[in-house]
Every structure is written in structure tokens, then in C-alpha cells.
């Protein structure tokens, strides 16, 4: 198994990419700590993993709070004796996130608190744990929108994912000699609850899909497989990179609407 004898902490692990990744990581031998603010859904994922013979635990944490992030890392180390993989995946895409004129300051601040500070806190407290374990892998969820202007405006989200990419690169350089790898996973448009709640009409969905060469939304399980590569020793010479798994959207010319 590709993650045997490793412990993985996954934020936002109760649904979408986080849920799919938690299930896959456990299947590949990892002991998984799922953190989220959705406690019932988090426990449900833990139950699925245990029913399949895997090992997992839930820890309630709001990644926008430093104390919660410090506590979730401490829990993982105490529960499983070490921490080797941190997947900073929790994020929001608020329905009221629009262009610069329409987006309220509170929506912008909330988006940054979770999408950017959440990654910062995950690294702030996760990196010392990885040091104690002799090294490991950090995966930060970014997005294809850090490269492209969105057809449906979502300025705070887009800006936050650009920040995640910048942090990822710098952290990778700083910690490369410590056997700590830091990479970003940038999904394209996915058929997840997060995006489907934002693209809440068929017209909005088609407006996004017209730009995707594959002509479909990606699936959370496809992102989990990409995260597995970055978490495993197979990517031992990979750091400071962005893994774009986007159906070709960032490679395509913009299609007229």
C-alpha cells in the first residue's frame, strides 16, 4: 500500500475532495485524521473508513482559528504517534462572492480567513510535526482560477487561491532541505457540492463547461488520486509545484460565449 505506516491530516474532510481523499488514503494504508466543522458528516466518513477496514478519527476544527489548527495537529500526533501528510484542503466559495463592486468586505475577509489563513495555520503547526516525524508531504488545495479570470465572477475566491499558490512555492523552497515537500493541487471545475451550490443554475453550469475541453465536470475521486501521488513517496523529488487536474481548461483558448 502506498501510504502504509503514515498518518494523514485532511482538513475539510467531511465532503467533496476531502472525503474522497480520506477514503482513498485509508485504503492505501494511512491512518487518517479528518477535520471539519461539519461534525455529523465527519463522523460518517470515519464510519465508512472503519467499515472498510481502515483507520480514521474525526477532530472538530475551524481552520480559520489558530488554536483549532494547533489542536488538530496535536491530536493527530497523540492519536497515531506522528504526522507525515498534511492536506490543507478546507475552503469556501461563498454565494455572495462576485466582482469588486458587489462583493462585501465581510465576504472577502471570510474567504481569506478560511482559504488562506487556514492553509497558513495548517503549515504553521503542521511543519513542526513533520519535522518531528523526519519529513513528509504538505498538499495545499488551490484552483485553476488562480490562472484564469472566471466566467462567473468570484473575486475573493480567485484571489485566495492565487495566495495559496504563492505560499506553496515559498514554503517548498524554505523547507526543501528538511525532507518536507510542499505542493499545490489545483482542480478544475468539479461536480462537488461546493461548486454546484455556486453554479446554481443550468446556465451558470454551461457557462463554465463551455471552457472545458473535456466537456464535463471533474469528480472528487479524480482529485483524490492526484493527491495520493503528492502524498506518497512516488513524488519524492516533487516540491514547489502545482498539479493542475483541470480537464484542460487552463490549456485552452477561451471559447466565445
Bigger pLDDT: 204 or 168?
Answer: 168
How many Cα neighbours within 13 Å face the side chain of 102? 10
- The more confidently predicted of residues 139 and 212 is 139
Top pLDDT among 196 and 61 is at: 61
Question: What pLDDT does 198 receive?
Answer: 73
Burial of 169 (0-12, 13-18, 19+ CB in 10 A): middle
157 labelled catalytic: yes
Residue 110 has pLDDT above 70, yes or no: yes
Residue 242 per-residue DSSP state = E
Model confidence at 185, in pLDDT bands (50, 70, 90)? very high
Residue with cell 495537529: 73
Residue 9: closest CA among 66, 64, 70: 70
Residue 56 three-state SS:
strand
CATH architecture under which domain 7-246 falls? 3-Layer(aba) Sandwich (3.40)
Residue of 1, 10, 53, 57 lying closest to 28 (CA atoms) = 1
* pLDDT higher than threshold 60 for residue 255: no
Give the whole-angstrom CA distance, residue 87 versus residue 166: 16
Considering 58, 80, 157, 253, which one is annotated as catalytic?
Answer: 157
Residue 40, burial from CB neighbour count under 10 angstroms (0-12, 13-18, 19+): exposed
pLDDT band for 58, please (50, 70, 90 cuts): very high
Q: What percent of the chain has pLDDT over 90?
A: 84
Contacts of 94 (CB under 8 A, 6+ apart): 107, 110, 111, 156, 157
How is residue 66 written as a grid cell? Answer: 489558530
Answer whether 118's CB lies under 8 Å from 72's CB.
no
Q: Which of 6, 91, 13, 8 has the alpha carbon at shortest distance from 48?
A: 13
Query: Which pLDDT belongs to residue 150?
Result: 72
List pLDDT tens digits, range 126-135. 999 999 999 9
Q: Is the pLDDT of residue 256 over 60?
A: no
What distance, in Å, lies between the first and last C-alpha atoms of the chain? 46
Amino acid at each position: 500500500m502506498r501510504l502504509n505506516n503514515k498518518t494523514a491530516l485532511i482538513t475539510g474532510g467531511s465532503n467533496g475532495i476531502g472525503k474522497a481523499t480520506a477514503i482513498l488514503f485509508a485504503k492505501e494504508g494511512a491512518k487518517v485524521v479528518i477535520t471539519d466543522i461539519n461534525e455529523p458528516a465527519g463522523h460518517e466518513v470515519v464510519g465508512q473508513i472503519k467499515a472498510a477496514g481502515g483507520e480514521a478519527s474525526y477532530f472538530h476544527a475551524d481552520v480559520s482559528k489558530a488554536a483549532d489548527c494547533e489542536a488538530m495537529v496535536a491530536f493527530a500526533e497523540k492519536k497515531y504517534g506522528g504526522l507525515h501528510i498534511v492536506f490543507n484542503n478546507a475552503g469556501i466559495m461563498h454565494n455572495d462572492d462576485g466582482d469588486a463592486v458587489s462583493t462585501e468586505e465581510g465576504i472577502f475577509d471570510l474567504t481569506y480567513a478560511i482559504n488562506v489563513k487556514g492553509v497558513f495555520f495548517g503549515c504553521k503547526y503542521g511543519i513542526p510535526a513533520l519535522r518531528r516525524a523526519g519529513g513528509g508531504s504538505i498538499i495545499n488545495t488551490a484552483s485553476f482560477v488562480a490562472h484564469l479570470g472566471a466566467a462567473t465572477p468570484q473575486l475573493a475566491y480567485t484571489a485566495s487561491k492565487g495566495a495559496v499558490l504563492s505560499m506553496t512555492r515559498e514554503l517548498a523552497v524554505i523547507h526543501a532541505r528538511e525532507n518536507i515537500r510542499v505542493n499545490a493541487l489545483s482542480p478544475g471545475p468539479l461536480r462537488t457540492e461546493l461548486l454546484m451550490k455556486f453554479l446554481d443554475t443550468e446556465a451558470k453550469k454551461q457557462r463554465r463547461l463551455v471552457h472545458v475541453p473535456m466537456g464535463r465536470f471533474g469528480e472528487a475521486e479524480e482529485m483524490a488520486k492526484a493527491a495520493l501521488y503528492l502524498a506518497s513517496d512516488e513524488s519524492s523529488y516533487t516540491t514547489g509545484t502545482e498539479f493542475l487536474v483541470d480537464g484542460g481548461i487552463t490549456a485552452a483558448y477561451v471559447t466565445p460565449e
